[in-house]
Amino acid sequence: VQLQASGGGLVQAGGSLRLSCAASGSFFEVKVMGWYRQAPGKQRELVAEISSGGSINYADSVKGRFTISRDNAKNTVYLQMNSLEPEDTSVYYCNADIKYSRWSLITNHWGRGTQVTVSS
């Protein structure tokens, strides 16, 4: 399984970016998909996650500014980031819980990070 993320870049404070992450390969089902971020010298933290049924969880720091969504048919998760702040500058990582068969355990996967830089 591969998680291919795209959409990072450089933006001014107050601007917007949209991240996408598609899961590809051979598997039965993608369960929870989410985004994490890690700034230099800091621990990786959850930004937002969404289940296959649509349940959503956001970090308090992004509530009201970021919106996570997914297209189950495309096994793709999106993160719309509005009102970006310099504190949002981080490497953003896609994450997914995947089942390879109906009876298999869930395995967790990480994509390569994509850099988001917000200038003041």
Measured CA to CA, the distance from residue 49 to residue 77 in angstroms comes to: 9
* pLDDT for the residue numbered 39: 95
* pLDDT for the residue numbered 57: 98
Torsion of CA 82, 84, 90, 96, to 10 degrees: -10
pLDDT string in tens for the chain (120-residue length):
999 999 999 999 999 999 999 999 999 999 999 999 999 999 999 999 999 999 999 999 999 999 999 999 999 999 999 999 999 999 999 999 999 999 989 999 999 999 999 999
* pLDDT for the residue numbered 82: 98
String of DSSP letters for 8-26: -EEEETT--EEEEEEEESS
* pLDDT for the residue numbered 22: 97
